Amino acid sequence: MAVQRLVRQTLWLALMSALLTGLPRVAQAQIKERSIKMPIVNSIDHPQGIGAKKFADLIEQKSGGKIKVRVYPSGTLGGEQQVASAMQGGTVEVSMMAPAQLVGNIKEFLVLDFPFAFANEREADAVLDGPFGKSLLDLMPAKGLVGLAYMEQGYRSITNSKKPIHKLEDIQGLKIRTILNPLYIDMLNMLGANAVPMPFPELYTALETKTVDGQENPYSTVEASKFYEVQKYFSNTKHIYNPQLLLTGKRFWDTLSGEEKKIFEDAAIETRAFQRKVAREMDEKSREFLLKSGMEINDVAPEEVARMREKVKPVVDKYASQLGEALVKQFDEELAKAREAVR
């Protein structure tokens, strides 16, 4: 009798354990205890950081507590390109960054950064989550990386410490920091600025010491990184829409079981919806915060935006020729479909 009672208690405890973790016993056996690093360049209260934290929480929850993801915010483990190299080498497992940071390895991502391409976020979502976005992710494993889902950074606009930008000519001569991406450098130079590429963790000091006059990022990044302390003017050029890419290193990915991969894929898709919603809600809140903090914010008239778009057309043509007619045609077709669908 005592033995039967012990057996029943053991079975009951096993059942309760499985129910509490929400995982079948077979699935549990396929999930190892893991501790994972996830460095990002923005702060933990930036939409990127909030998305990273959500992803980390979901991974732990879906793995029954076996897989723990530690987020390293504010560039503590280096800039994006340094982190991407570490993922390829297997010393960092997961990160979130703009696809533009990966063009040194995967040049096709440049197409997402064509200036003034996406009129709104709904167009971007449709293209990124559809066949075209997936076709770009399919290029990553050959370069030692695995893309899980597209998140959102937002529209890049120019801030500086000298003057507001109301027209194309106002950009002339401004030293503007940008990312280490040739399209961005050529675009800013074509607009009349002096483009200064540098890693993001170095940017605040460069602005503070006037090594550069300005930079280009969304409202939320300017708030989270406290650039309002060293920048006076925010001009809504909205020259490039930036997605974010949740990705892993292929070396790490190949160590995962099928069940573990599913956990990462499901958590990424769930995080995508959450992070985009947060990013869009925070955009207007960040704008109000920057105004209260003393920044002068101005919109750029549509006719001046049109002049800027026309000015950088040679840059778009240059990189379109490098990427190949087929890829650019596919992008244009998918963008046209998305534009029609969201009208």
pLDDT in tens, 265-314: 999 999 999 999 999 999 989 999 999 999 999 999 999 999 999 999 99
Instruction: Find tokens 């410490």 and name the residue.
Output: 161
**pLDDT confidence band for 29 (50 / 70 / 90):** low
**78: DSSP letter:** -
Is residue 10 situated within a structural domain?
no
The dihedral region occupied by 192, where left means phi > 0, alpha psi between -120 and 50, and beta the remainder, is left
Q: What is the C-alpha to C-alpha distance for residues 139 and 47, in angstroms, rounded to an integer?
A: 26
**pLDDT confidence band for 8 (50 / 70 / 90):** low
Is the per-residue pLDDT at 16 higher than 50?
Answer: no
Cβ atoms of residues 3 and 185 within 8 Å: no
pLDDT for the residue 182: 92
Number of neighbouring beta carbons within 10 Å of residue 12: 10
pLDDT digits (tens, 9 = 90+) for 60-81: 999 999 999 999 999 999 999 9
Q: How far is CA 130 from CA 5, 84, 201, in A?
A: 56, 24, 33
Give Rg (Cα) of the chain: 22
- Length of the chain in terms of residues written: 343
Kindly provide the b/e burial profile for residues 193-214, where b requires at least 16 CB atoms within 10 angstroms of the residue's own CB.
Answer: bebbebbbbebeebbeeeebbb
Is the per-residue pLDDT at 14 higher than 80?
Answer: no
The domain of 96 spans 32-341
- When divided into structural domains, the chain yields a total of 1
pLDDT for the residue 15: 47
**pLDDT confidence band for 4 (50 / 70 / 90):** low
Give pTM, 2 decimals. 0.85
pLDDT digits (tens, 9 = 90+) for 194-207: 999 999 999 999 99
Number of neighbouring beta carbons within 10 Å of residue 343: 6
pLDDT digits (tens, 9 = 90+) for 230-264: 999 999 999 999 999 999 999 999 999 999 999 99
**104: DSSP letter:** T
pLDDT for the residue 341: 84
Least confident of 16-25, 45-54, 66-75, 178-187: 16-25
What percentage of the chain reaches a pLDDT higher than 70?
92
Q: Which of 97-101, 142-146, 219-223, 339-343 shows the highest mean pLDDT?
A: 142-146
Is residue 157 situated within a structural domain?
yes
Mean pLDDT, range 220-230, rounded to an integer: 95
Is residue 26 situated within a structural domain?
no
Lookup: tokens for 129:
């989550």
CA atoms within 13 A of residue 24's CA, in its CB half-sphere: 4
DSSP string, 134-181: HHHHTTSGGGTEEEEEEEEEEEEEEEESS----SGGGGTT-EEEE-S-
Is residue 13 situated within a structural domain?
no
pLDDT for the residue 164: 98
Here the CATH number for the domain that contains residue 123 is 3.40.190.170
Dihedral sign from CA coordinates of 98, 99, 104, 107: negative
Is residue 64 situated within a structural domain?
yes
Cβ atoms of residues 289 and 157 within 8 Å: no
pLDDT for the residue 198: 94
237 vs 5 pLDDT, higher one? 237
Q: How far is CA 216 from CA 121, 157, 206, 238, in A?
A: 18, 5, 13, 9
Is residue 16 situated within a structural domain?
no
**pLDDT confidence band for 342 (50 / 70 / 90):** confident
Q: What is the C-alpha to C-alpha distance for residues 274 and 156, in angstroms, rounded to an integer?
A: 21
Is residue 8 situated within a structural domain?
no
7 vs 69 pLDDT, higher one? 69
pLDDT for the residue 28: 59
Is the per-residue pLDDT at 343 higher than 80?
Answer: no
Q: How far is CA 125 from CA 2, 22, 154, 308, in A?
A: 61, 31, 12, 24
Is residue 36 situated within a structural domain?
yes
Is the per-residue pLDDT at 17 higher than 70?
Answer: no
